Amino acid sequence: MLKRFAYLTLCACAPAYAAPSLDDARVQQLAADRYWIALGHYETAKLGGWRSYVDDDKFFLAEDGAHHPDRELRATVDALYAPANLGDKHAQCVFPARTRWLREQLQLSDLPTPDCQEYSRWYADVAPHSAVLIFPAAYLNSPSSMFGHTLLRIDKADTRSNDTTLLSYAINFGAYIEGSDNSILYAWKGLMGGYPGLFAMMPYQEKLSEYRSLENRDLWEYQLDLTPEETGRMVEHVWELKQVQFDYFFFDENCSYRLLELLQVARPGLDLTSQFPLTAIPTDTVKAVKQSGLVSDVRYRPSRERELLARAEPLDHHEKQQVLAVSADTAQLQSPEFTALPRERQALVQDAAYRLERYRATGQERDPEQARRSFELLRAINRNPPPPLQIERPGLPEDGHQSRTWQLGVGTREDRAFAEYGLRMAYHDLNDNAYGFPLGAQIEILQLKLRQYEGNDWQVQRLDLATIRSLTPRNELLKPWSWQVAGGLERVPGKHDDEVLVSHVNGGGGGTWQLADGLLGFALGTVRVEHHNDFAEFISPAAGFNGGLLWRNGLGNMTLEAKGDYFTNGEVRRSLSLNQQWEISQNLGLRLSAKREFSHLATAQNEVMLELKWYQY
Amino acid sequence: MKRILLGTLFAAVSINAMAEAPGGPNCGWGNLLFEGQRGTPAHFLASTTNGTSGNATFGMTSGTNGCSTKAALTYGGKSWLAMNGTMNELSEDMAQGQGEALTTYAVVLGVKPEDRAHFASVTHDHFQQIFSSANVTAEDVHNNTIAVLKKDPQLAKYATEA
């Protein structure tokens, strides 16, 4: 506000430079230009007119600039002619992208030339030349990461030839959290837009260690085909967004959406944001960017965990035991068991032990004893270095199936035929087309299934709010837990062989083991609370089990599962199920499901269904 | 690049009455090897909403972390070497004799492309001198590197040019 008054007063009393008098038609025409709309982050408001996604007074020079691109444009032109001695506070220094565009459009050749020290130093330090879209892939043991995140990296002219991406900056858009809200409040506010969104710029190296070490996510780097000029335009605009608060919503106006807007500023002809009317899921945005022909090269950086597993992979049981022994006590490097190994196997064992040690230290305070062990291992590695790690690049995440899924099934339950219609908003289950997804991870958000029995008898079959499963295999070196949570409405056997719609929340924990290549076995203990109309009490708790096999075969993924719930009221509900997916194409799958359910309330029921799945967008 | 790094180093040495690490007290020159990387308490959720917690930085201009922002090679006032995690990566690369962090270190020190392979092999051979203990600081590592470069005929020029 103050700044705005400063401009006004200065404009009033120091008319050394005169802003050109713009006729209204010209202002209207320019203000409606897509580029101006992009620079102001305007969208058409629900009741007509405009509103800006920016929720911050200091971003607008006109009093009502957030709703009037034309008034904002006029105010900006006036401010560009403010006296040059405003220095860093001059509109030209605060809004370099607006300045450039207006200068070009209106041929403003007589602008004052303030000395933008802060901006020039910052721009020279970033030295933009090319841009890279960064996508940290999902981490199996944190299925919520399946939604992913996208950020941008800005490289200098010599970054590629020198291989110094570690010196580049990353541009990140995220919710800005102040103070110390507790976790629940945090999640809620994050989803509901309770936090402002802010752009931040930080060393790429910081982001790398955050994702690769702290979160163990692989990183995908998509080199963008932007010219140095286009990259510069984008970075100029990022400066305008410094400390500027946006509305932030987890599902749509999120990191990915904002980055797409930036790309549109870089290359005015692009139209990326209009493809996401409802939700912008980061993998989808990667797809959109790729489809627009912006990606010239893809690079893969494995996570620290994947590197550790890859290093340990060729080791046999005895050698892995050595890895554990050496990482626990570096004196073992002198033990006869270790020194008896061939020298090149010693190199692998040492390196794996070092990586395991660092993996365990992740997220912990520095422990002097652990630091000493790590250092001893480094010295051993220095004396006998292992060959560089070769890690095969997994399937491109953007070539995986789309996230919104329509489902059409036909089947029979006992002797009744039915058709089933389903829609899932997101994202992936254990059986879905596997390319680009980790085996054993599932996250489903909002799934509705309606069933139509013979005789036009309709019913809600299930409504899942969220179903998350994380089946990460345990091995000799790493022992992650497997877990699952789910909640919503579903049909279960009830009295008189009816299917009763119950509301439920359930969860479980246990372990998963790699039985063979592409074959996982899992066993979890579960708990459940349920509201069931046939039960006397309002809420019924149960404990149980859930175990089975997940097999990646030539057709697709197969699961074979057994489940049991033992209710405190005496009901025992068990089921056996088999699901086999046939992956027809990237976005089409056919699934055969067979299930047999047992309950104390009803006779055993058989159900078979064949279901077509279309992963739409 | 290198000129400015060494310039600040020397400037700090010449006014070391201030008894502060170059770049200011919080800039990480005192960081130890294997300094822990901590997640935020709400890290699981933070990553879900991609939050930026604490001070939202904006490249070198933020200058709010108590660091001098005058030196190049700095991100928000931190020297590259002193940045969280860099020393760990560099120590691994140097122990093995190759890697991205080692290349970056050479570039940061101004080592020309034709000398970088030699730089990698010399620092690999002198790993135990450069990373002399588990408790070296970023500053130690830098000083030790310069000492090693000085003794190598081909690389000595990178240790003296300031």
Residue A265 belongs to a domain with what CATH number? 3.90.1720
Q: Are residues A292 and A311 in the same domain?
A: no
Least Cα distance to A534 among A490, A499, A505 occurs for: A499
H/E element, A36: helix A34-39
d(CA A583, CA B31): 52
Instruction: Note whether A366 contacts B48, CB cutoff 8 Å.
Output: no
Q: Which of B5, B27, B45, B105 to mutate to test the interface with A (most CBs of A within 10 A)?
A: B45
Interval A205-253: pLDDT, tens = 888 888 887 778 889 999 999 999 999 999 999 999 988 888 766 555 5
Residue B78 has pLDDT above 60, yes or no: no
Burial of A509 (C-beta count, 10 Å sphere; 0-12/13-18/19+): middle
Q: In percent, how much of chain A has pLDDT > 70?
A: 90
Q: Are residues A450 and A577 in the same domain?
A: yes
pLDDT reported for residue A511: 96
Directed axis angle between helix A24-31 and helix A96-106, to 10°?
A: 130
Range among A214-218, A520-524, B71-75 rated most confident: A520-524
- Determine the distance in angstroms separating the CA of B81 from the nearest CA of chain A, rounded to an integer: 11
pLDDT reported for residue A231: 96
In DSSP notation, A467-491 reads EEEE-PEE-SS--PPEEEEEEEEEE
- Where does the pLDDT of residue A94 fall: very low under 50, low under 70, confident under 90, or very high at 90 and above? very high
H/E element, A331: none
For residue A528, the SS3 value is: strand
In chain B, residues 94-123 whose CB comes closer than 8 Å to chain A: 94-98, 100-101, 103-104, 107-108, 113
The last residue of a domain, from among A257, A282, A301: A301
H/E element, A267: none
Q: What is the mean pLDDT of residues B121-142?
A: 93
Q: What is the mean pLDDT of residues A536-564?
A: 96
**Distance from first CA to last CA of chain B, Å, rounded?**
10
Is the residue at A483 inside a domain? yes
Interval A265-320: pLDDT, tens = 999 888 887 766 556 667 777 888 888 899 999 999 999 999 999 999 999 999 99
- Where does the pLDDT of residue A182 fall: very low under 50, low under 70, confident under 90, or very high at 90 and above? low
- Where does the pLDDT of residue A8 fall: very low under 50, low under 70, confident under 90, or very high at 90 and above? very low
Q: Are residues A32 and A162 in the same domain?
A: no
Burial of A192 (C-beta count, 10 Å sphere; 0-12/13-18/19+): exposed
Which distant-in-sequence residues (6+ apart) come within 8 Å of A95 by Cβ? A76, A240
Neighboring chain A residues of B98 at a CB cutoff of 8 Å? 388
Least Cα distance to A493 among A505, A502, A482 occurs for: A502
Q: What is the CA radius of gyration of chain A?
A: 29
- Where does the pLDDT of residue B42 fall: very low under 50, low under 70, confident under 90, or very high at 90 and above? very low
Q: Of A50-59, A576-585, B18-27, B49-58, which range is least confident?
A: B18-27
Is the residue at A602 inside a domain? yes
d(CA B159, CA B137): 19
Between residues B19 and A329, the one the model is more confident about: A329
The last residue of a domain, from among A285, A301, A317: A301
pLDDT reported for residue A185: 61
- Residue A562 contacts residue A576 (beta carbons within 8 Å): yes
Q: What is the mean pLDDT of residues B46-75?
A: 42
Instruction: Note whether B85 contacts A385, CB cutoff 8 Å.
Output: no
Interval A489-518: pLDDT, tens = 999 999 888 899 999 999 999 999 999 999
For chain A, give the mean pLDDT. Answer: 88
- Where does the pLDDT of residue A11 fall: very low under 50, low under 70, confident under 90, or very high at 90 and above? very low
Interval B22-31: pLDDT, tens = 444 455 666 7
pLDDT reported for residue B13: 29
Cβ-Cβ contacts under 8 Å between A and B: the total is 191
- Is the ipTM higher than 0.85? The answer is no
Residue B73 has pLDDT above 60, yes or no: no
In DSSP notation, A337-378 reads HHHTS-HHHHHHHHHHHHHHHHHHHTTSPP-HHHHHHHHHHH
Question: CB neighbours (10 Å) of residue B91?
Answer: 25
Tokens at A223, concatenated: 């080199």
Q: What is the bridge-based pairing of β-strands A169-177 and B52-53?
A: parallel
Q: Which of A146, A166, A285, A470 to mutate to test the interface with B (most CBs of B within 10 A)?
A: A166
Give the closest of A145, A172, A361 to B34, CB-based: A361
Neighboring chain A residues of B127 at a CB cutoff of 8 Å? 378-379, 382
pLDDT reported for residue A501: 95
pLDDT reported for residue A247: 75
Tokens at B44, concatenated: 């699981």
Is the residue at A394 inside a domain? no
Q: Are residues A288 and A313 in the same domain?
A: no
Instruction: Note whether A214 contacts B43, CB cutoff 8 Å.
Output: yes
Q: Are residues A603 and A575 in the same domain?
A: yes
pLDDT reported for residue B39: 42
Question: For B130-135, which contacts have Cβ atoms below 8 Å and span 24 or more sequence positions?
Answer: B130/B94, B131/A375, B131/A378, B131/B33, B131/B91, B131/B94, B131/B95, B133/A375, B134/A368, B134/A371, B134/A372, B134/A374, B134/A375, B134/A376, B134/B33, B134/B34, B135/A368, B135/A371, B135/B32, B135/B33
Tokens at A111, concatenated: 């602008």
Residue A427 has pLDDT above 60, yes or no: yes
Helices (H) and strands (E) in chain A, counts: 18, 22
Q: What is the mean pLDDT of residues A537-565?
A: 96
Q: Are residues A109 and A154 in the same domain?
A: no
- Residue A418 contacts residue A451 (beta carbons within 8 Å): yes
Instruction: Note whether A173 contacts B50, CB cutoff 8 Å.
Output: yes
Instruction: Note whether B32 contacts A371, CB cutoff 8 Å.
Output: yes
Residue A564 has pLDDT above 60, yes or no: yes
Is the residue at A585 inside a domain? yes
Least Cα distance to A557 among A578, A580, A577 occurs for: A580
- Determine the distance in angstroms separating the CA of A470 from the nearest CA of chain B, rounded to an integer: 15
Residue B102 has pLDDT above 90, yes or no: yes
Q: Are residues A449 and A377 in the same domain?
A: no
For residue A191, the chain B residue with the least C-alpha distance is B49
Q: What is the mean pLDDT of residues A323-337?
A: 94
Which residue reads 């699981």 in tokens? B44
For residue A385, the chain B residue with the least C-alpha distance is B96
pLDDT reported for residue B29: 67
Eight-class DSSP state of A253: S
pLDDT reported for residue A202: 82
Eight-class DSSP state of A84: G
Neighboring chain B residues of A213 at a CB cutoff of 8 Å? 37, 85
Give the closest of A149, A181, A203 to B50, CB-based: A149
Neighboring chain B residues of A381 at a CB cutoff of 8 Å? 92, 95-96
For chain B, give the mean pLDDT. Answer: 67
d(CA A203, CA A231): 17
Q: Residues A444, A446, A447, CA angle at the centre, nearest 5°? A: 80
Q: Are residues A291 and A346 in the same domain?
A: no
Interval A123-166: pLDDT, tens = 988 899 999 999 988 776 665 566 678 889 999 999 988 888 99
Is the residue at A41 inside a domain? yes
Which residue reads 């992956």 in tokens? A583
In DSSP notation, chain B reads -HHHHHHHHHHHHHTGGG---TT-TTSSTTPBTTPPPPPPTTHHHHHHTT-EESS--BTBT---SS----SSSEETTEETTTSTTHHHHHHHHHHHT--HHHHHHHHHTT--GGGHHHHHHHHHHTHHHHS-STT-BHHHHHHHHHHHHHTSTTTHHHHH--
Question: CB neighbours (10 Å) of residue A471?
Answer: 27
Which domain does A536 fall in, by range?
400-615
- Residue B76 contacts residue A242 (beta carbons within 8 Å): no
Q: Are residues A501 and A582 in the same domain?
A: yes
Burial of A432 (C-beta count, 10 Å sphere; 0-12/13-18/19+): buried
For residue A101, the SS3 value is: helix
Neighboring chain B residues of A388 at a CB cutoff of 8 Å? 96, 98
Label residues A141-152 b or e (16+ Cβ within 10 Å = b): bbbbbbbbbbbb
For residue A529, the SS3 value is: strand
Q: Are residues A88 and A136 in the same domain?
A: no
d(CA B42, CA B53): 10
Which distant-in-sequence residues (6+ apart) come within 8 Å of A459 by Cβ? A450, A451, A453, A491, A499, A501
Which distant-in-sequence residues (6+ apart) come within 8 Å of A612 by Cβ? A407, A408, A409, A588, A589, A590, A591
For residue A93, the SS3 value is: helix
For residue A214, the chain B residue with the least C-alpha distance is B39
d(CA B128, CA B132): 5
Residue A567 belongs to a domain with what CATH number? 2.40.160
Is the residue at A390 inside a domain? no
Tokens at A516, concatenated: 């063979």
Instruction: Note whether B34 contacts A175, CB cutoff 8 Å.
Output: no
Q: Could you tell me how many residues make up chain B?
A: 162
Single pTM value for the model = 0.83
The last residue of a domain, from among A283, A301, A319: A301
Instruction: Note whether B33 contacts A371, CB cutoff 8 Å.
Output: yes
Q: What is the mean pLDDT of residues A450-461?
A: 95
Neighboring chain A residues of B100 at a CB cutoff of 8 Å? 163, 165-166
Instruction: Note whether B33 contacts A375, CB cutoff 8 Å.
Output: yes
- Residue A313 contacts residue A390 (beta carbons within 8 Å): no
Instruction: Note whether B104 contacts A167, CB cutoff 8 Å.
Output: yes
pLDDT reported for residue B92: 95
How many domains are contained in chain A? 4
Q: Are residues A587 and A446 in the same domain?
A: yes
Q: Residues A244, A245, A251, CA angle at the centre, nearest 5°? A: 135
Q: Are residues A62 and A152 in the same domain?
A: no
